[in-house]
């Protein structure tokens, strides 16, 4: 089971929202902190028996036309969601025990209220257009592993040409490529689990880390760098 981290630490172990790829496998969209219910409580309808005047009730399960998830409102998750917002997708909810629910729909998202020094969370909304009636008992055969960075990443502040080394932990067999949005401000070099970030000149830069592995989906993380 994959370990999923965010910049605020571990929030999810196996509880993920996934999307269907062109290869027929589901891969990680984002980890989620809270799953919605699969359906609302059964509705009852009055059924009158005219011969004796008694009332009985018929129950019917009501489906949810919209699902709401809680996620970490961080730029890495936002970049992923912005790329697919409003597009029709096939989704798979993976629960910690590898059961899952499959459905189709389109997504949108928003930021939740924020308290001082609190973790910023958001809500992801999926308008469901179609859903399987029964859950999947074991999603492992339809899942494609995702190569991920498993260690928390923090933004970095440097002075002048100062450099720092960040130890990067990944899922097994994964490799990482590092690029800087502005090499005139800061450079980034990755080598065997060590990411070296060096200041060049005053300003701001974003370091993008793409994690990949053979036969697995890739993932992208970022580190914001400020050079004083």
- Residue 170, domain CATH: 2.60.40.1080
Looking at 92, 114, 142, the residue that finishes a domain is 142
Residues 119, 80: one domain?
yes
Residues 98, 180: one domain?
no
Over its length of 228 residues, how does the chain's per-residue pLDDT go in tens digits? 444 555 544 445 558 899 999 999 999 999 888 778 766 555 555 555 555 555 555 555 555 578 999 988 889 999 999 999 999 999 999 988 889 999 999 999 999 988 777 778 899 999 999 999 899 999 999 999 889 898 889 999 999 999 999 999 998 899 999 999 999 999 999 999 999 999 999 999 999 999 999 999 999 999 999 999
Residues 30, 99: one domain?
yes
Residue 55 lies inside a defined structural domain of this protein = no
Residues 118, 74: one domain?
yes
Residues 126, 164: one domain?
no
pLDDT at site 5: 53
Residues 223, 169: one domain?
yes
Instruction: Give which of 155, 171, 193 is closest to 5, Cα–Cα.
Output: 171
pTM, to two decimals: 0.81
pLDDT at site 120: 86
Number of compact structural domains in the chain: 2
Residue 91 lies inside a defined structural domain of this protein = yes
Rounded CA separation 121/34 (Å)? 11
Residues 19, 123: one domain?
yes
Strands of the 121-131 sheet, one edge to the other: 26-31, 16-20, 89-94, 100-111, 121-131, 66-72
pLDDT at site 51: 59
pLDDT at site 10: 41
Q: What CATH number corresponds to the domain at position 74?
A: 2.30.110
Residues 108, 166: one domain?
no
3-state secondary structure 36-55: CCCEEEEEEEEEECCCCCCE
Residue 147 lies inside a defined structural domain of this protein = no
Rounded CA separation 17/101 (Å)? 10
Residues 166, 188: one domain?
yes
Residues 104, 131: one domain?
yes
- How far is residue 53 from each of residues 44, 49, 50, 56, 58, measured CA to CA in Å? 18, 6, 5, 10, 16
pLDDT at site 115: 72
Residues 212, 175: one domain?
yes
Instruction: Specify the DSSP class assigned to residue 170.
Output: B
pLDDT at site 43: 56
Give phi and psi for 65, each to the nearest 5: -80, -15
pLDDT at site 160: 96
Q: Which domain holds residue 221?
A: 156-227
pLDDT at site 102: 95
Residue 45 lies inside a defined structural domain of this protein = no
């Amino acid at each position: 089971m994959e370990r999923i981290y965010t910049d605020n630490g571990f929030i999810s172990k196996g509880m993920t929202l996934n999307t269907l790829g062109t290869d027929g496998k589901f891969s990680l969209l984002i980890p989620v902190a809270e799953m919605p219910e699969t359906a609302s409580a059964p509705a009852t309808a009055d059924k009158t028996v005219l011969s004796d005047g008694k009332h009985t009730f018929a129950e019917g399960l009501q489906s949810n036309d919209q699902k709401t998830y809680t996620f970490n409102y961080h730029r890495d998750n936002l970049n992923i969601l912005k790329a697919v917002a409003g597009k029709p997708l096939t989704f798979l909810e993976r629960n910690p025990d590898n059961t899952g629910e499959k459905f189709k729909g389109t997504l949108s998202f928003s930021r939740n209220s924020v308290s001082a020094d609190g973790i910023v969370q958001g809500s992801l909304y999926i308008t469901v257009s179609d859903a399987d009636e029964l859950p999947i008992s074991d999603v492992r055969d339809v899942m494609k592993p995702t190569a991920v960075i498993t260690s928390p990443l923090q933004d970095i502040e440097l002075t002048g040409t100062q450099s720092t080394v960040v130890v990067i932990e990944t899922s097994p067999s994964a490799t990482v490529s590092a690029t800087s949005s502005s090499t005139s401000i800061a450079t980034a070099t990755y080598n065997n689990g060590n990411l070296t970030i060096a200041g060049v000149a005053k300003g701001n830069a974003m370091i993008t880390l793409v994690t990949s592995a053979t036969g697995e989906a890739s993932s992208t993380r970022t580190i914001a760098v400020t050079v004083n």
